[in-house]
DNA sequence: ATGCACGTACTTTTT
DNA sequence: GTACGTGCAT
């Protein structure tokens, strides 16, 4: 197979590079994945490197999956033997195998952010620390920073120069102690402990660094010190470390990413070979020039410039709107126009926002226009309460020391065990050194008192029965079924008075089917890289792979559900757009305070570095576009319930002026529209803000309709919605069709005479 | 112990 | 404008 076919010169150079450190600057749309996969294929096919001795690390599961899939096409099933996955998954893997060398329980559980927050709150409460001055999330952020920099509580303690920092250090210490007691690692610990493994255990370092003939790191601009240390240790023996990234796309500083790491790679490895991939296969030259105009204002970036063979292209359309509603209406109109002109699918359009809060006006405008819009990356599957509950039951069964998981389900479904009781149980547990579970199961009336003891009885029965169930279950689904059954979980959900009962049942069902997919994968496949992970020495109770299931539910955010398959325009944040591409990109909210964000502009922690990161965010957005970019700003915006005047983004001024198309301004209000004009709506519109939806002089009965298309209203069960259609008013048969904001309520036709509808301003 | 009402605060979120 | 956390009343 010719692995070089269709590759450009620097790409070929990268593919052919075999030994020694290699740094690839891969610009947006420069064919990075192609280059990487071909390089790995070359190692395997032409240099006889056993796949099992290659480590390829990514930040996301998605990236890892994509890469594995493409490698499968190149080298076949052999690709499954490559150690490929996220930093966290790879670290977890190693720790399951050798964690015992540094004193870890091989059955450790992984705490996600929610678990960590619960634990932190518990600590603050127990230690009587004022959670207003020391909020749990901020404590966790400081701790995360420390861990990303491989600092221990003692390290923090010794450099603490203020009472605040001393509290942080103290809290950090307690946090680690409790994690340890729960046999748990948080996300950052996975990395930190993996680093500790290869530094403290000479044997482990020898083993793993010998094993990996090649180490590849993707998105290297986003690595932190812990990740760097880990990668360096693993590559220490053979020194075949290949890192790929783009400093211009580093947008995760707030998560510990340190751009300097990629910029200083040459200092770490003085013999590093450097390759720049600057030919772009995604965008028009105009788009690249516009993006370059912006990014070139950053200092200390690696000099480079994307170019493409597709010369010219459309100019960047710029629009100024009166407010966010007008802005959204403008976007819908452009999409409708473009879609008619070109033959584009709705999914060819993406709306990229700085913050999630920008999405509301778009949801409304799209609903009015009846153009499907899909919000991407808003709520993650495993973050849902009902899913967390079920996972917590499994966690408790798997690891009896996981007090946080037990704490979550101790009163779910409600069984009369309240905060006071839980507090008391926790006290006893800590004082006696027992796990919460042992206190509940093994302490009697003498210790707990009569009332509590009695209230605990049903929970005890459930836990004990489930323990037996876990030992007998042959699959995760089977065990989950038992959990649902023993806890009466469905009944509990149906009793949900907030009206989300049905959604939640649906979520549980979706979770069950995910579990069943996992089951079948485990049962008939030799799952990838983990030949060592199945340790016959440590028999597990319940499904042998329950631990793996828990791990994947902690490490896979769960590509959000609701994949309806319907063609829809997507809306997402700039952050989640990284790595994606779209023919047409809209970037609304090009304002001072939004992009660049106020926190970077005039907040406490504002500064040149923060502004540069905002600029990179802008750059990431611009370079997502293949054909056209539409930028817009609103001159007034309501944020946090306060309407304020805004200034256009400074980044607009950084665009080469000749590449900006301002004709959009002229069109505002003038463009006649549109498919959402219905019976009594005219297509004319003035410049007033409600103009596009105002009633017209068109056919209209003597009485004006009570509900007009475009109007917002509220229904006690379905929530808020927008009128998308209505019958002529008057008479018993009058109806309105309402698109409700809640995804699941959807569209409903309601009889005006009967439905308890309320207008909303 | 649970439910409601009020006050406050609030980017981004790969794992 | 909402979502969450605290505090009070049931």
A382-524 sits in which CATH class? mainly alpha
Tell me: pLDDT of A534 over 60.
no
**Topology of the domain covering A699-759:** Thrombin, subunit H (2.40.10)
CATH 1.10.10.160 fits A109-182, yes or no: yes
Angle (CA) A550 A552 A555, round 5°: 110
pLDDT digits (tens, 9 = 90+) for A296-329: 999 989 999 999 998 899 999 999 999 999 999 9
Q: Which of A515-519, A537-541, A687-691 has the lowest mean pLDDT?
A: A687-691
Tell me: pLDDT of A739 over 60.
yes
A9-100+191-277 sits in which CATH class? alpha beta
Q: Where in chain A is the domain with CATH 3.40.50.300?
A: 9-100+191-277, 285-378+563-668
Residues with CB under 7 A from strand C: A 131, 357, 360, 638, 640-642, 720
pTM above 0.75, yes or no: yes
**Residue A249 annotated to the active site:** yes
Give nearest nucleotide to A136 (CA–C1'): C5
**Residue A219 annotated to the active site:** yes
**Residue A126 annotated to the active site:** no
- Domain A285-378+563-668 sits in CATH at 3.40.50.300
Q: Which residue has better confidence, A427 or A29?
A: A29
Q: Where in chain A is the domain with CATH 1.10.486.10?
A: 382-524
Q: Which residue has better confidence, A614 or A562?
A: A614
**Nearest partner of A114 among A554, A572, A558, judged by Cα:** A554
Q: Where in chain A is the domain with CATH 2.40.10.170?
A: 699-759
Q: Which of A624, A628, A637, A708 is catalytic?
A: A624
Average pLDDT, chain A: 85
Contact of A598 with A621, CB cutoff 8 Å? no
Q: Which residue has better confidence, A681 or A27?
A: A27
* Protein CA at A626 to nucleotide C1' at B9, angstroms: 39
Which residue is it, tokens 């529209």? A673
In angstroms, the CA A414 to CA A37 distance is 51
Residue numbers 166-195 of A with CB closer than 7 A to any atom of strand B: 187
Tell me: pLDDT of A738 over 80.
no
Tell me: pLDDT of A619 over 90.
yes
Q: Where in chain A is the domain with CATH 1.10.10.160?
A: 109-182
CB-proximal positions of chain B, under 7 Å: 1-2, 9-15
Mean pLDDT of A264-275: 94
**Residue A166 annotated to the active site:** no
Q: Which of A91-105, A406-420, A640-654, A707-721 has the lowest mean pLDDT?
A: A707-721
Mean pLDDT of A419-446: 87
pLDDT > 70: percent of chain A: 85
pLDDT attached to residue A671: 39
Question: In Å, what is the CA distance from A10 to each residue of A7, A26, A71, A220, A239?
Answer: 8, 10, 20, 18, 22
- Which residue has its C-alpha nearest to nucleotide B10's C1'? A640
pLDDT digits (tens, 9 = 90+) for A232-257: 999 999 999 999 999 999 999 988 89
Alpha helices, DSSP H, located in A160-303: 163-181, 187-200, 202-211, 225-234, 259-263, 265-268, 285-295
The set of residues, in sequence order, having a beta carbon less than 8 Å from that of A423 and lying 6+ positions away, is: none
CB-proximal positions of chain C, under 7 Å: 1-2, 6
Q: Which of A115, A122, A219, A519 is catalytic?
A: A219
HEC states along A611-653?
HHHHHHHHHHHHCCEEEEEEEEEECEEEECCEEEECCECHHHH
């Amino acid at each position: 197979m010719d692995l070089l076919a269709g590759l450009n010169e620097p790409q070929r150079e990268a593919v052919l590079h075999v030994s020694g450190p290699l740094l690839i600057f891969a610009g947006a749309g420069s064919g990075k994945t192609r280059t990487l996969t071909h390089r790995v294929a070359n190692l395997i096919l032409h240099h006889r490197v056993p796949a099992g001795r290659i480590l390829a690390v990514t930040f996301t599961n998605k990236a890892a999956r994509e890469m594995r899939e493409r490698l499968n096409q190149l080298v076949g099933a052999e690709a499954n033997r490559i150690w490929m996955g996220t930093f966290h998954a790879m670290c977890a893997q190693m720790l399951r195998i050798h964690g015992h060398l540094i004193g870890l329980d091989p059955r450790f559980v992984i705490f996600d952010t929610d678990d960590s927050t619960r634990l932190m709150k518990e600590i603050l409460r127990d230690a009587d620390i004022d959670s207003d001055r020391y909020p749990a999330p901020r404590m966790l952020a400081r701790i995360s920073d420390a861990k990303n920099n491989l600092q221990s509580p003692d390290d923090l303690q010794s450099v603490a120069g203020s009472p605040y920092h001393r509290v942080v250090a103290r809290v950090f210490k307690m946090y680690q102690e409790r994690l340890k007691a729960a046999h748990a690692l948080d996300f950052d610990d996975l990395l930190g402990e993996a680093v500790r493994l290869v530094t403290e255990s000479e044997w482990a370092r020898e083993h793993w660094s010998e094993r990996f003939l090649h180490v590849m790191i993707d998105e290297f601009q986003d690595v932190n010190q812990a990740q760097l240390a880990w990668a360096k240790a693993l590559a220490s023996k053979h020194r075949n470390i290949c890192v790929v990234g783009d400093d211009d796309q580093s947008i995760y500083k707030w998560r510990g990413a340190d751009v300097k790491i990629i910029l200083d790679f040459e200092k770490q490895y003085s013999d590093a070979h450097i390759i720049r991939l600057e030919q772009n296969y995604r965008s028009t030259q105009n788009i690249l020039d516009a993006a370059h105009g912006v990014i070139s204002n950053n200092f200390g970036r690696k000099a480079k410039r994307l170019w493409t063979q597709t010369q010219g292209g459309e100019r960047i359309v710029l629009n100024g709107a009166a407010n966010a509603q007008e802005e959204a209406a403008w976007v819908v109109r452009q999409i409708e126009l473009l879609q008619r002109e070109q033959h584009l699918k709705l999914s060819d359009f993406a709306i990229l926002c700085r913050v999630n809060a920008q999405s509301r006006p778009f949801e409304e405008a799209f609903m009015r226009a009846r153009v499907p819009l899909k919000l991407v990356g808003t709520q993650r599957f495993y973050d849902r309460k009902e899913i967390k509950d079920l996972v917590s039951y499994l966690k408790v069964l798997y690891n009896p020391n996981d007090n946080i998981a037990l704490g979550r389900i101790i009163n779910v479904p409600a069984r009369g065990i309240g905060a006071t009781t839980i507090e008391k149980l926790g006290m006893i547990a800590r004082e006696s050194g027992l796990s919460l579970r042992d206190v509940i199961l093994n302490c009697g009336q003498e210790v707990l008192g009569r009332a509590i003891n009695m209230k605990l009885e049903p929970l005890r029965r459930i836990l004990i029965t489930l323990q037996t169930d876990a030992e007998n279950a042959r699959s995760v689904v089977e065990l989950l079924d038992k959990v649902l059954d023993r806890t009466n979980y469905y009944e509990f959900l149906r009793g949900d008075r907030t009206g989300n009962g049905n959604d939640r049942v649906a979520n549980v069902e979706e979770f069950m089917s995910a579990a069943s997919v996992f089951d079948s994968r485990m049962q008939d496949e030799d799952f990838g890289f983990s030949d060592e992970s199945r340790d016959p020495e440590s028999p597990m109770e319940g499904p042998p792979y329950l631990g793996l299931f828990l791990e994947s539910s902690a490490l896979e955010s769960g590509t959000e559900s609701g994949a309806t398959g319907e063609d829809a325009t997507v809306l997402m944040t700039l952050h989640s757009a990284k790595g994606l591409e779209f023919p047409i990109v809209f970037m609304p909210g090009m304002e001072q305070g939004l992009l660049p964000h106020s926190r970077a502009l005039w907040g406490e922690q504002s500064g040149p570095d923060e502004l540069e990161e905002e600029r990179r965010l802008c750059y990431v957005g611009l370079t997502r576009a293949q054909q056209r970019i539409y930028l817009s700003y609103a001159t007034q915006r309501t944020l946090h319930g306060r309407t304020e005047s805004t200034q256009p983004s400074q980044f607009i001024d950084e665009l080469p002026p000749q590449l900006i198309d301002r004709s959009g301004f002229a069109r505002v209000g003038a463009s006649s529209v549109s498919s959402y004009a219905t019976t009594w709506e005219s297509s004319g519109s003035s410049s007033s803000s409600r103009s596009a939806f105002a009633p017209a002089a068109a056919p209209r009965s003597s009485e004006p309709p009570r509900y007009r298309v475009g109007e917002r209203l509220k229904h006690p069960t379905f929530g808020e919605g927008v009128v998308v259609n209505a019958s002529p008013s008057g008479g018993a048969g009058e109806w309105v069709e309402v698109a409700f904001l809640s995804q699941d309520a959807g569209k409903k036709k309601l009889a005006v005479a009967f439905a308890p509808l309320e207008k909303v301003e």
